[in-house]
Structure 1
């Protein structure tokens, strides 16, 4: 609990959400402790009651958001055998697109001091940079067991191609491009098309 009786996880969530809003509105240069706490509507010193410094806070923000994206894909394999394979994959890609990955990547590039902290989180297994790829590969393997994806298909390679394409489109076109999902659906259809029976 904090000194004011508010549960720490709730404070973290409030500060993380506020920081994400500042990042999206003002970019990495606008992420100051004062701007974040003002956005969150809390006392300026509250951030430093729970984090040793701003870089540690921002590293934790990136870890938290990476985990959220992975959590959004955890039920993907449960969709195997139902719906259309391309639709299911696009639902997963939509989770990637909605995760503000572009802004978060720019934050990591703009603040090299948090890189060491991210490497520590990676080493501890707190986050995994290939989580989306692995979860998508698991889904495609499940579709193979259902006979809705060719048994000869390399599920891991297909997952890598799809996640890589999603990142490329996100970084080159930007999350606000109204045609982003249409471009990605075309790529997904092209990548998977030769491996799908008509019924899938």
Structure 2
């Protein structure tokens, strides 16, 4: 069987904080196949700019796959088994995505990770993600695995409070950040994405965020 992943980490891992690692280029090899999988998911559950509890619209377009999908609307932030746009369950997580998440988590010191949710964010130039915590999951013992594809971005990685110091971490196509344990609830976000054209992803940055939500 063809190994789509190839060399699992062409760059040296970088410790960002206790329990948090940057894995440079970990997903570069299967990048084209990962983008194909994203297209398949979006064909069933289209990207959309979700409404926030305050009534605004997120600048980033989103969709999900796996048993649970992440949702936001005036009712708040939560996970659900049904896409409210299609009225159908979220698509099954493509095997290549689940395998990548498990391998990345293992490389960062979190063996046995089995995600049941993958939130897919599509960033157009100028879009951003404000500092926030991932805290809607039922069990915080599992890490977050975040895969970057397409245009580069600056990942903002803070600490336990929104007002604390923030690292500005450049992310490129194929880079993965994994955080858990002591840093599981650290604040994080993405600075506005600069305009550009990626040979595989075109004018977009895609971010795959894997979680054990249920």
| TM-score when normalising by structure 2 | 0.21
Structure of greater Rg:
1
Highest RCO, 1 vs 2 (Cα 8 Å, sep ≥ 6): 2
Q: Which has the higher strand share?
A: 2
